[in-house]
């Protein structure tokens, strides 16, 4: 294998190829520096202090929320009735698998990688598969809400087929996500630095103009952010226009939910993807050579990545717990647990009547109903 390229953003599994102390000749310093190179070893120390506690918090909160979603869908409701049910269950599973990879990266940040190259490739690939599947499933949910609210007649005519179509769509999402994660299988390597510490990271082949790395970064930016954002903005914009024309006392609540969903997605994903764009530009044409600037991007990359990962633990609250039916299921569970009733009694208990909503043509209205 040819000499690997390195990036200027030390972001763990996200396209950071080596520890800075391995290849200190990657970036020459700016005019104010005298060392001739940028020693970024302290960024590894920052990562070791910043990432582990944050990742464990995200893991615990996300695991509780998403496990609750899976449990209610598979035990309390016992069957999937709508397209959104299928998407939300798959989203919860994807987020859970994604979250399960965070402890590995937390240990890697502190002690280095001691799990071997096979686990390195597997963890990197599973992490990326579920990252892409989560983003694509969020896109599917927005499209389903668009059909249910804007294309009401079409939604009713295809009500029986929509459940079958949703399962096919989910299979397609997992397949596409697996294809997009192939670079993790190919380029994930375990590298050892001068301090004899091993790290699981991506090492790209030395090709002309870094084209492989640019392609991988471009795919992540387009499929993991731009496509979901464009679809969400379009669908929810039309939904907002439809709701504004409706005469219903609950529409202002639905509008508030839409704004929260879009705002949280942009807030959590935009900083990280902006830095990925800068990184891809840097790979195509190295223009940032000042050490202080490079250090700033390194730290910003750590913070932006942690912010992006919080979306995995926020999804249950944004897309599931906010639904009327789901809140009713939760209340039933709390009351039953308080009354020391066994789980077997859950399925026998009659559901609380659902409060009507202008947006609900199904049993769940995840992203819009209150």
* Residue range 288-338, pLDDT digits in tens: 777 778 888 888 888 998 899 998 888 888 877 676 667 777 777 777 777
Q: What is the mean pLDDT of residues 106-112?
A: 88
CATH of the domain at 260: 1.20.1070.10
Taking residue 284's Cβ as centre, other Cβ atoms within 10 Å add up to 14
pLDDT at 358 over 80: no
2 within domain boundaries: no
pLDDT at 24 over 50: no
370 within domain boundaries: no
* pLDDT on residue 17: 38
290 within domain boundaries: yes
* pLDDT on residue 246: 75
122 within domain boundaries: yes
In terms of Cα–Cα distance, which of 280, 273, 172, 175 is closest to 225? 273
* pLDDT on residue 222: 93
88 within domain boundaries: yes
Domain range for 155 is: 41-342
- Residue 321 CA to residue 146 CA, distance in Å, equals 20
pTM, entire model: 0.78
Q: What CA dihedral angle connects 83, 87, 93 and 97, to 10 degrees? A: 160
Tell me, rounded to whole angstroms, the distance of Cα 222 from its chain centroid. Answer: 14
**String of DSSP letters for 201-216:** EE-----GGGHHHHHH
Report pLDDT digits (tens) over 232-279.
Answer: 999 999 988 888 887 765 666 777 778 888 888 999 999 999 998 888
369 within domain boundaries: no
| Number of domains comprising the chain | 1
pLDDT at 356 over 60: no
Tell me, rounded to whole angstroms, the distance of Cα 346 from its chain centroid. Answer: 32
């Amino acid at each position: 294998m040819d000499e690997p390229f390195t990036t200027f953003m030390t972001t763990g599994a996200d396209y950071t190829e080596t520890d800075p102390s391995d290849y200190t000749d990657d970036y020459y310093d700016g005019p104010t520096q005298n060392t001739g190179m940028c020693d970024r070893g302290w960024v590894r120390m920052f990562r070791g202090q910043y990432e582990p506690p944050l990742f464990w918090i995200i893991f615990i909160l996300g695991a509780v929320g998403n496990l609750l979603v899976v449990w209610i869908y598979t035990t309390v409701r016992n069957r999937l009735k709508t397209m959104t049910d299928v998407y939300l269950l798959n989203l919860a599973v994807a987020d859970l698998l994604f979250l399960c990879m965070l402890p590995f990266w937390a240990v890697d940040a502190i002690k280095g990688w001691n799990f071997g190259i096979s686990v390195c490739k597997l963890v990197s690939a599973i992490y990326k598969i579920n990252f892409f599947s989560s983003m694509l499933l969020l896109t599917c949910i927005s499209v389903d809400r668009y059909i249910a609210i804007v294309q009401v007649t079409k939604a009713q005519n295809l009500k029986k087929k929509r459940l079958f179509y949703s399962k096919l769509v989910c299979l397609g999402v997992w397949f596409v996500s697996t294809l997009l994660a192939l670079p993790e299988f190919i380029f994930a390597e375990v590298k050892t630095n001068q301090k004899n510490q091993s790290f699981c990271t991506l090492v790209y082949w030395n090709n002309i103009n870094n084209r492989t790395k640019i392609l991988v970064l471009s795919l992540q930016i387009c499929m993991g952010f731009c496509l979901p954002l464009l679809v969400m903005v379009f669908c929810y914009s039309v939904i907002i226009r439809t709701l504004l024309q409706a005469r219903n006392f609950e529409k202002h609540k639905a509008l508030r939910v839409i704004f929260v969903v879009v705002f949280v997605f942009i807030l959590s994903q935009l900083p990280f993807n902006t830095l990925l764009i800068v990184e891809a530009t840097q790979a195509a044409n190295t223009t940032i050579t000042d050490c202080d600037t490079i250090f700033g991007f390194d730290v910003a990359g750590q913070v932006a990545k942690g912010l992006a990962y919080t979306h995995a633990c926020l999804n249950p609250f944004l897309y599931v717990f906010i639904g009327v039916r789901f809140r009713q299921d939760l209340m039933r569970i709390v009351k039953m647990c308080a009354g020391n009733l066994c789980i077997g009694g859950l399925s026998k208990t009659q559901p609380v009547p659902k409060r009507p909503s202008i947006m609900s043509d199904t049993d769940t209205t995840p992203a819009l109903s209150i």
